[in-house]
Structure 1
Amino acid sequence: MQAVNLCRLMVISILIILISACATRPVPQYSVNAQSHQKQLQQIRNWQIRGKLAFRSEQDKFSASLNWRQQDKDFRVNLSSFLGTNILLLEKHQGQVELQYDDKLYQHINAAALLYELLGWTIPVESISQWVKGQTSAEAQAEFSDNGLVSRLQTADGWVVNYSDYRQTGETLLPHQISLQAGPNRIKIRVDAWQLN
């Protein structure tokens, strides 16, 4: 009888060890020099992200697949449904902004103003191109976590940006979860993949 109990105890112990080994692996702990990391981010001028974007305001809400390519100050932002249907394409090239939406083409010199005038969406596109990297600016108040990475930005124009889930991309740590809020406007960006060019 004692041999059976001992055998059960051994089997239970082995199962516990196996189950704990299958548990989610711990998130790697990174530590950086905040100043050096910010200099690295400033040098990243050409990049692409794929992921998801969710937007909510008092008047509207939507979520979409996001593909954003940035080339210095020019960009191409494509939002599509989860079935792959194009929702909109927003491009800036040499200071001119074009928006393809609902089979029509619209032009402007300011992407955020165009989105607001046409769709009522408050999305600070030009600023997000910097914020999405976790890059601070002279006008923003930044909070850094103990590991030297930006955890929160409070911008001069009223946006609060929170960061989490930093991962190594090449030689740089970049955020994969970004949430932005200004009044009733909320934007969440989940980055599935970063590509640095």
Structure 2
Amino acid sequence: MKPVVSLIVLTLFLTGCSLAPNKPNMSNAVSWEVYQEQALALENYLLTGKVGIRSAEDSNSATLTWAQNGHEFDIRLKGPLGQGAAAISGDQYYATLEIPNEPPLQAATPEELLDLRLGWALPVREAQYWIKGIPAPGSTYDATFDDNKLATLQQQGWDITYDRYLEQANQTLPGKVVFTRGELVITIIVRSWQKSG
């Protein structure tokens, strides 16, 4: 092949690569499949770390303990928005919010309780998947990938960014996740992942 023709072919190839959509190639897709399978199999876990909440009105942080057993969740916040402590628990049918020296509140979803009492809401039933670095099942999403793992995810009106991953619980799991919707930004920094159950 003549040098000029070779240069044209190479230029066209590189141009085509630069215009390709940001998604896994065939080898990456297999690795992404494996990651999803491993994350979905992790149904019972204990996550500890810190959560930061920033909105148009306020910003604060709390220590976070998130226990997930199948559909059942128990999320404990210490020091949220100056309230000392809060615990929200439930499953796919109900949610209960407990704050010291106050009667428990119940609702059909944890989002209702969080918004009502704490002034912000994260869709816990979807976030139990997002926090593991996978999309929630049952709805469409857009995503970008880095090294066979999610770099960004857009689903149900939320923009989710994965800034760091950890090697824990014998697998790779997110270490820092940022959830953004409008002016609400929720940042979770994971200290540890443990398998439970």
TM range (shorter): 0.7 to 0.9
Alignment of 1:40-119 (within 5 A): 40-81=38-79, 86-93=84-91, 95-104=93-102, 105-119=104-118
CA contact (8 A) 1:134 1:174 kept: yes
Shift of 1:120: 2.2
Shift of 1:124: 1.8
Q: 1:63-84 deviations in whole A, cap 9, x for unaligned?
A: 00001100111100100039xx
CA distance in 2 between counterparts of 1:93 and 1:140 reads 24
Q: 1:23-69 deviations in whole A, cap 9, x for unaligned?
A: xxxxxxxx981111111111111111110000011123210000110
Runs of 4+ in 1 over 6 A off after TM superposition: none
Give the unaligned 5+ runs of structure 1.
1-30
CA contact (8 A) 2:49 2:190 kept: yes
CA distance in 2 between counterparts of 1:139 and 1:62 reads 31
Match status 1:150 vs 2:166 = no
Alignment of 1:15-54 (within 5 A): 33-54=31-52
CA distance in 1 between counterparts of 2:47 and 2:169 reads 14
Q: Name the counterpart of 1:192.
A: 191
Shift of 1:93: 4.4
Shift of 1:123: 1.9
Q: Name the counterpart of 2:172.
A: 173
Match of 2:48, SS state, is strand
Shift of 1:117: 2.3
Shift of 1:118: 2.7
Q: Which amino acid aligns with 1:43?
A: A
Q: 1:2-24 deviations in whole A, cap 9, x for unaligned?
A: xxxxxxxxxxxxxxxxxxxxxxx
CA contact (8 A) 2:168 2:192 kept: no
TM-score, length-scaled by structure 2? 0.76
Match of 1:39, SS state, is helix
Q: Name the counterpart of 1:133.
A: 132
CA distance in 1 between counterparts of 2:120 and 2:53 reads 8
Match of 2:75, SS state, is strand
Identity rate of aligned residues, in percent? 28
CA contact (8 A) 1:47 1:69 kept: yes
RMSD: 2.0
Rg larger in 1 or in 2?
Answer: 1
Match of 1:67, SS state, is strand
CA distance in 2 between counterparts of 1:182 and 1:94 reads 23
Q: 1:97-140 deviations in whole A, cap 9, x for unaligned?
A: 11012522101110011211233213222221110000124522
Q: How many residues align?
A: 163
Match of 1:33, SS state, is helix
CA distance in 2 between counterparts of 1:159 and 1:81 reads 25
Q: Which amino acid aligns with 2:141?
A: A
